[in-house]
């Protein structure tokens, strides 16, 4: 288990275990049970959604909505043990790529292809410039920029990485604008 995952597991365990103690010291709560959605990256295998549920008596449990629709309720300690076991049982590739299943491999391959296309635009620009013995930015450069940035933006949305999305979105506007200018120049307008 990586240091980050251990810290996350301990933080989650302390939060989930300390909450009922604090609630019990304040007296019983008569409100209906409440549910708050949890986001854990990556989610345990086979889990669609996670919720932290607090009963009217102040007891907390983690509700795991599985991919097949059934719900599992675990105590905080059981949940931490499950996450720990899930993390330890993942193979090297799954741990390296921070994914939980084969669908994750497809997404990482998609993101990697986007990165190859995006990086390849520089090779195209360099080869065309060498051939013409002057600095040239070919139209293929802008199309590859747009395609690679679009693929990377989709990948970053899947990863829920706002920094990556913003980084690709700003460039995306520039690539579209340059392609539009080239299109207008060729039409003679």
The strand order across the sheet containing 47-54 reads 34-38, 47-54, 60-66, 71-74
pLDDT digits (tens, 9 = 90+) for 2-22: 666 665 555 555 455 444 444
Q: Alpha carbon of 166 to those of 5, 111, 169, 171: distances in Å?
A: 27, 16, 5, 9
Longest dimension (CA), the chain: 80
Spans of the chain below 50 pLDDT: 14, 17-31
Judge whether 36 and 51 are in contact, CB under 8 Å.
yes
Ramachandran region of residue 98, left (φ > 0), alpha (ψ -120 to 50) or beta?
left
| pLDDT reported for residue 124 | 97
| pLDDT reported for residue 13 | 53
Judge whether 55 and 19 are in contact, CB under 8 Å.
no
| pLDDT reported for residue 87 | 73
| pLDDT reported for residue 153 | 96
Residue 29 bridge partners (DSSP):
none
pTM: predicted TM-score of the whole model, two decimal places? 0.59
- Which H or E run contains 48? strand 47-54
| pLDDT reported for residue 33 | 66
Query: By C-alpha distance, which of 107, 105, 85 is closest to 94?
Result: 105
Residue found by looking up tokens 């007296």 in the block: 27
Angle separating helix axes 139-159 and 102-132, nearest 10 degrees: 160
């Amino acid at each position: 288990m990586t240091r980050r995952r251990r810290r996350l597991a301990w933080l989650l365990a302390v939060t989930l275990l300390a909450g009922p103690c604090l609630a019990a010291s304040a007296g019983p709560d008569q409100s209906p049970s409440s549910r708050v959605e949890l986001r854990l990256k990556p989610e345990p295998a086979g889990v669609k959604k996670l919720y932290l549920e607090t009963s009217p008596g102040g007891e907390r449990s983690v509700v795991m909505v599985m991919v097949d629709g059934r719900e599992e309720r675990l105590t905080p300690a059981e949940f931490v043990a499950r996450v720990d076991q899930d993390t330890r049982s993942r193979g090297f590739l799954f741990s390296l790529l921070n994914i939980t299943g084969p669908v994750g491999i497809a997404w990482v391959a998609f993101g990697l292809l986007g990165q190859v296309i995006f990086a390849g635009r520089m090779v195209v620009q360099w080869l065309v410039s060498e051939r013409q013995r002057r600095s040239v930015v070919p139209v293929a450069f802008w199309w590859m920029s747009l395609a690679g940035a679009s693929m990377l933006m989709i990948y970053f949305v899947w990863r829920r990485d706002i920094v990556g999305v913003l980084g690709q979105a700003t460039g995306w506007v520039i690539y579209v604008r340059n392609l539009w200018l080239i299109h207008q120049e060729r039409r003679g307008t």
